[in-house]
Every structure is written in structure tokens, then in C-alpha cells.
């Protein structure tokens, strides 16, 4: 095991990418037993700085000291030897291997030839039991939801015995309960003299867990100090350099009588062959924002995929603008006016090796707007992409940069820009603000509100109860592939939703209402 990290110092770290200065002479300091929150807008350089510490990137200049001695972290293997572990913003697991095998991949550095999977499996179960992180050691990664994969990453880092843990937006994909547990876990680790660097865009989490914060803006360190010293709005100011408001509020208005999306008693199977959707029904009206609340893994992903023709409907019907789209091809459904922001933004929502321009035209390339007789019009695609980059404030050196080299939040903006720009009749948005900073969240919400004005219905699948409550007209709670109940957002509250999400129906009156609705 590595020597304990009493003091970590990064001194005037500078890192330049083609066209961007990602870190500009950044200093960072961390003592054992401390939780440091690293804050900053999308593209501020947080992940880059951490990747340097973890040996994935090499800084152009600057040094790293551990306990006063200069160290070179040339690779993640070096980091592992120094006792540095990292949970990445985008999971780095091998899809075709099991959880145990993925953990073993990290372990097999020192014992190249003997690999005792049984032991590793035991270690995984041990860690997951000790920290209350439910993972099935024998599940293959591709079968897991994003939230579950994030958990596996965590178990992996813990099983490898890191004593400095870097967490790059670990809570972005977790349910509120899971996030709570994780934060407790981090606090507990800090008590046992580990140190943690924690990246998040959620200030309440930062406040709960961290002792100190360091704020980056456009690659420069603009603030570092104790967390309590600044209020939320002061922190937000530091990050953005401007004032920010809370979640946009939905103004109440009666529902339009036209139904944009109607889901009728839909049954569908999950990846593992079990029933993931057991008779889901709801209507989304024109111009409505309809929320689906639920703990991830209760059928949300399957619901979104079935509506978009990416998963077979076993029985039941789906109508888009009164048109039956049940089991039609994805293309037919897109052409009928469906928009979709998928959960898996790296591999499903974008093509990482394609440029930002090529990603932005992914759904429009075959229309007269961008092509003519099968030939893409370069000039038009450029203008199209530049406009979107400008309107949605996507931070990229230019439109020909591969999407893979954008920061996490900016990749998300590419997808959002593409889908919102089409003003579809119905937009299925799965965790749309995951990983976005406050400014970008506000911006996206504004855009969503704008398209509902013009009649688009939005199906918002989210775990952020605050977002759902302030932003939706109605909210349906999904539990084990069934809609528990549909509520008006203005008539409900977090407690009620929380109970429903746990599968608990409040006694008599509500029960009756639920029965009526199902009948």
C-alpha cells in the first residue's frame, strides 16, 4: 500500500489543448482528512486538472508534490501506486466484462499472472456491503444503467484501496437517495483520514460535504477558501462571473385539449429479458411539460427507448399526435416529429469521433435545409452548426473539433441544441441537465420553456425532484415499470413524491384515485 498522502500540492499547473487553455497556472492544495470541492462552469478545466493528477494527461508546466516531495504521475498506474484513485465523469468500464472482472483489471497491475477472480469478487462484495453500495458482482457492465455503472466505478476505486479519491461529478447520475448516501460515505472517509476531491455542479452537495472549495473559471483559479465563507449565490457568482437565478418556474396554465403523446398500457422487456414496463399509460398534452419521477432503473430508460422505436413494444400502443407509432422504425418516428435526448450521451447521443458540426446535423442532414439530392451542402452545414454553437453557448475551439474532446457539459449541450432546434412535436428528455452547470441549466430550461410555447410537449425524465416540481405541469411517478400515480406539480411536494418513488402509496384517498385512473 502506498504511503499516506498527508499533503498534496499542485503548483501552477498549465495545460493547453488545441485552441483552448484548459488550465492556466492553477494551484491546488489538499490535506488528509479534507474534502475539497472543485467548482466551475462547464469547460472550466476541472476534469482536465484531475486527469493531470491521475496521470491521464501530462501538464505543459507546473509540478505536483506529495508530502513535500515532487512526484511525476505519468500514468494511472503511477497514480495507483501513489494511492490516488479516480471516479471519472464518464465511466471507464469494459462493457463486455463483469463487475468483478472490471475491478480485477485495476488490480492486476502488480500480479500479472495470478488473478484470483474469486478473491476479487469477495472484495467487491465486501466493499459494497461495507459502504452500502448495491452492486451485483456478476452482472455485465452493458446490462447496467448509467447510475449503476457509476456505483461500480466507486466500488472499483474503493476496492483498489485509494487514500486520495478524485470524484468527477459522481452524483450526476445518482438518485437523490444514492447521492445522499455517497455524501455520507465521503464524509466518513474523510474522518478516516482519506482525502477527497469532489466535483459537482450542485451547490447543496458541495456545502454538505466539503471543507474547502476551489473555484475555476476558464482555466484560472479564481477562489479558494473554506466552504462556509461564501453563500450559494456568492459561489455561483465566482463560477460564472455573473448573477444566476434558481430553477426557472413554470407558470400555471390549463392543459391544451390536444394530446401530443399518448402511451396506452405499454408492456416491454428490459435488456435482461425481464419485464421492464408493465402496462404504462399516460397522456402528454400539447405544450405540456410532463415529468416522470422515479429511482433510476425502474423502467425510465426502457420507456424512453420504446417510445422512440429503439425497443420493441410487447403489447399496448403509443400515439404521437394521434398517429400510431407503435413498433415503427426509429426513422419513421423521428420523421413524425419526435425528439429524444438519451441517457447515454457519449455513445448514443453523439458520435465521439465525429466533429461538433457532424454531430449537430445528425438528425437534419437529410433534409433540404442541409443537403440537396443526396449531397451535403458544406456551407449550409457549417452555418447551421455555427448558429447552434453560438445560440447554445457550446464551448468548443471550432465546429470541426471532435465531439470527444469537449467537456462533459458541452457534449450534453450539443445534444440539447440538436434536439431543441428541430422543435419536435414531442421531446423525450432523459436527465437533460445532468452534468450541466447552473448557467447552462438555466439556459436549457429557458429553451425548453420556449419550445413548449410553440406547442412542443416535453416528457421530462428526471431524478431531480426540485427540477420536476418547479418545471413540470404534471408529474407521474414510475415504480417497477408501472406508473404509481399522476399528480399536478403544484399540488404535490417532495415528501409525497419520495414515498411514491419508493413504491409506497399513501393510504386511502390516494389509493382510490389511483384505482380510478387505472380503470
Partner 1 sequence: MKKSTIAIYNFSVVAIALLIALLMGAVLFLIAGGNPILAYHVMFTEPLKGAFGISEMLVRAAPLMLVAVGVAISFRSGILNIGGEGQILIGAVAGAFIALSFPNVPKYLLIPMVFITAFAGGALWGGLAGWLKAYLGVNEILSTVMLNYIATQIYTYLLRAPLIDPQELAYGTGIAQTAQISQNAWLARLIPGMRLHTGLIYASLIAVAAYLMLWKTTLGYRMRACGAEPLAARYAGMNVRRYLVLAMLLAGGMAGLAGGVELCGVHRRALEALSAGYGFSGIVVALFGGLHPLGIIPASALFGLLIVGADMMQRAPDVTIPAHIILAIQGLIILAVVSCRIFLTHRGIRERILGYFSRHKED
Ligand X SMILES: Nc1ncnc2c1ncn2[C@@H]1O[C@H](COP(=O)(O)OP(=O)(O)OP(=O)(O)O)[C@@H](O)[C@H]1O
Footprint of Mg ion on residues 405-434 (CB under 5 A)? 408
Largest CA distance in the chain: 70
Cβ closest to partner 1, residue 200 vs residue 350: 350
406 binds, among ligand X, partner 1, Mg ion, none (CB under 5 to 8 A by kind): ligand X
The residue range among 16-24, 74-82, 118-126, 247-255 that interacts with ligand X, by the rule CB under 6 A, is: 16-24
The residue range among 12-20, 62-70, 340-348, 376-384 that interacts with ligand X, by the rule CB under 6 A, is: 12-20
102 binds, among ligand X, partner 1, Mg ion, none (CB under 5 to 8 A by kind): none
Footprint of ligand X on residues 377-406 (CB under 6 A)? 395, 405-406
CB of 436 to Mg ion, least distance (A): 11
> Contacting ligand X (CB under 6 A), which of 40, 85, 294, 432?
40
Cβ closest to partner 1, residue 278 vs residue 344: 344
Q: Which residues contact 296 (CB under 8 A, 6 or more apart)?
A: 145, 146, 147, 148, 173, 174, 175, 463
Strand arrangement, sheet containing 474-479 = 338-341, 426-430, 457-462, 289-293, 474-479, 482-488
CB of 46 to Mg ion, least distance (A): 5
43 sits near ligand X (criterion: CB under 6 A): yes
Cβ closest to ligand X, residue 218 vs residue 275: 218
CB of 450 to ligand X, least distance (A): 23
Whose CB is nearest to Mg ion? 47
163 sits near Mg ion (criterion: CB under 5 A): no
Question: Using CB under 8 A as the criterion, which residues of the chain lie in contact with partner 1 when the complex forms?
Answer: 18, 56-58, 60, 308, 310, 329-335, 340, 342, 344, 347-354, 358, 362-363, 365-366, 371, 374-376, 378, 405
Strands in 286-430 per DSSP E: 289-293, 315-320, 323-324, 338-341, 371-372, 375-376, 426-430
Distance CA 173, CA 395 (A): 22
- Write the interaction track for ligand X spanning residues 313-342; mark x where CB under 6 A is met and - where it is not: ------------------------------
Distance CA 163, CA 140 (A): 27
Find the DSSP H helices in 19-98.
46-53, 76-82
Provide the Cα torsion 456, 449, 239, 215; round to 10°: -50
352 binds, among ligand X, partner 1, Mg ion, none (CB under 5 to 8 A by kind): partner 1
Q: Which H/E stretch holds residue 488? A: strand 482-488
279 binds, among Mg ion, ligand X, partner 1, none (CB under 5 to 8 A by kind): none
Cβ closest to Mg ion, residue 39 vs residue 475: 39
Strands in 194-258 per DSSP E: 195-199, 212-217, 220-226
Distance CA 287, CA 268 (A): 27
Q: Which residues contact 272 (CB under 8 A, 6 or more apart)?
A: 143
CB of 45 to ligand X, least distance (A): 4
Cβ closest to partner 1, residue 225 vs residue 330: 330
378 binds, among partner 1, Mg ion, ligand X, none (CB under 5 to 8 A by kind): partner 1
408 sits near ligand X (criterion: CB under 6 A): yes
47 sits near ligand X (criterion: CB under 6 A): yes
Find the DSSP H helices in 60-173.
76-82, 99-107, 117-130, 146-159
CB of 516 to partner 1, least distance (A): 37
> Contacting Mg ion (CB under 5 A), which of 47, 195, 210, 452?
47
For 20, 36, 52, 420, the CA distances from 43, given in Å and listed in that order, are 10, 19, 15, 21
Rg of the chain taking only CA atoms, in angstroms? 23
Distance CA 69, CA 55 (A): 17
Question: By the 8 A CB rule, do 25 and 12 touch?
Answer: yes
Question: Can you name the residues that pair with 70 across neighbouring β-strands?
Answer: 65
Cβ closest to ligand X, residue 84 vs residue 99: 84
> Contacting ligand X (CB under 6 A), which of 34, 54, 89, 127?
89
CB of 467 to partner 1, least distance (A): 24
Question: What is the total residue count of the chain?
Answer: 519
Q: By C-alpha distance, which of 132, 104, 102 is closest to 119?
A: 104
DSSP state of 355: B
Find the DSSP H helices in 137-217.
146-159, 176-191, 203-209
Footprint of ligand X on residues 427-486 (CB under 6 A)? none
85 sits near ligand X (criterion: CB under 6 A): no
> Contacting ligand X (CB under 6 A), which of 13, 36, 39, 48?
48
Cβ closest to Mg ion, residue 201 vs residue 485: 201
Residues near ligand X (CB under 6 A) are 17-18, 20, 22, 40, 42-48, 89, 395, 405-410
Residues near Mg ion (CB under 5 A) are 47, 89, 408
Amino acid at each position: 500500500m502506498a504511503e499516506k498522502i498527508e499533503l498534496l500540492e499542485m503548483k501552477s499547473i498549465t495545460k493547453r489543448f488545441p485552441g483552448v487553455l484548459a488550465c492556466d497556472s492553477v494551484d491546488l492544495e489538499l490535506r488528509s482528512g479534507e474534502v475539497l470541492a472543485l467548482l466551475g462552469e462547464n469547460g472550466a478545466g476541472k476534469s482536465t486538472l484531475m486527469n493531470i493528477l491521475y496521470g491521464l494527461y501530462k501538464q505543459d508546466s507546473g509540478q505536483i508534490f506529495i508530502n513535500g516531495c515532487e512526484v511525476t504521475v505519468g500514468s494511472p498506474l503511477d497514480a495507483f501506486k501513489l494511492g490516488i484513485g479516480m471516479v471519472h465523469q464518464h465511466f471507464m468500464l469494459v462493457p463486455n466484462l463483469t463487475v468483478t472482472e472490471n475491478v480485477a483489471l485495476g488490480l492486476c497491475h502488480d500480479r500479472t499472472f495470478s488473478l484470483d477472480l474469486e478473491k476479487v469478487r469477495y472484495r467487491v462484495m465486501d466493499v459494497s456491503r461495507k459502504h452500502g453500495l448495491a452492486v451485483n458482482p456478476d452482472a455485465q457492465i452493458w446490462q447496467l444503467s448509467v447510475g449503476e455503472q457509476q456505483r461500480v466505478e466507486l466500488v472499483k476505486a474503493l476496492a483498489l484501496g485509494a487514500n486520495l479519491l478524485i470524484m468527477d461529478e459522481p452524483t450526476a447520475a445518482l438518485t437523490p437517495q444514492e447521492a445522499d448516501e455517497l455524501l455520507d460515505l465521503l464524509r466518513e472517509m474523510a474522518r478516516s483520514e482519506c482525502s477527497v476531491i469532489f466535483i459537482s455542479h450542485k451547490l447543496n452537495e458541495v456545502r454538505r460535504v466539503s471543507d474547502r472549495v476551489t473555484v475555476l473559471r476558464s482555466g484560472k483559479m479564481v477562489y479558494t477558501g473554506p466552504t462556509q465563507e461564501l453563500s450559494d449565490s456568492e459561489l455561483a457568482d465566482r463560477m460564472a462571473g455573473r448573477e444566476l437565478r434558481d430553477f426557472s418556474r413554470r407558470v400555471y396554465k390549463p392543459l391544451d385539449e390536444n394530446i401530443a403523446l399518448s402511451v396506452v398500457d405499454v408492456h416491454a422487456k428490459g435488456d435482461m429479458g425481464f419485464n421492464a414496463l408493465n402496462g404504462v399509460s399516460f397522456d402528454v398534452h400539447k405544450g405540456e411539460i410532463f415529468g416522470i419521477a422515479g429511482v433510476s432503473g425502474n423502467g425510465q430508460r426502457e420507456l424512453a427507448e420504446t417510445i422512440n422505436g429503439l425497443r420493441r413494444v410487447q403489447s399496448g400502443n403509443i400515439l404521437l399526435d394521434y398517429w400510431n407509432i407503435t413498433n415503427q422504425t426509429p426513422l419513421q418516428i423521428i420523421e413524425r416529429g419526435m425528439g429524444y435526448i438519451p441517457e447515454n450521451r457519449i455513445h448514443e447521443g453523439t458520435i465521439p469521433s465525429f466533429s461538433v458540426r457532424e454531430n449537430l446535423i445528425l438528425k437534419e442532414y437529410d433534409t433540404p435545409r442541409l443537403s440537396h439530392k443526396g449531397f451535403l451542402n458544406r456551407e449550409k452545414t457549417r452555418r447551421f452548426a455555427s448558429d447552434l454553437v453560438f445560440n447554445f453557448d457550446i464551448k468548443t475551439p471550432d465546429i470541426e473539433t471532435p465531439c470527444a474532446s469537449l467537456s462533459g457539459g458541452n457534449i450534453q449541450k450539443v445534444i440539447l441544441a440538436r434536439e431543441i432546434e428541430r422543435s419536435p412535436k414531442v421531446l423525450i428528455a432523459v436527465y437533460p441537465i445532468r452534468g450541466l452547470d447552473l448557467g447552462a441549466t438555466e439556459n436549457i430550461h429557458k429553451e425548453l420553456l420556449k419550445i413548449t410555447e410553440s406547442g412542443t410537449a416535453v416528457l421530462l425524465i428526471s431524478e431531480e425532484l426540485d427540477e420536476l416540481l418547479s418545471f413540470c405541469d404534471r408529474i407521474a411517478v414510475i415504480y417497477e415499470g408501472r406508473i404509481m400515480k399522476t399528480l399536478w406539480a403544484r399540488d404535490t411536494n417532495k415528501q409525497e413524491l419520495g414515498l411514491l418513488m419508493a413504491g409506497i402509496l399513501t393510504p386511502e384517498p390516494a389509493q382510490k384515485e389511483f384505482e380510478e385512473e387505472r380503470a
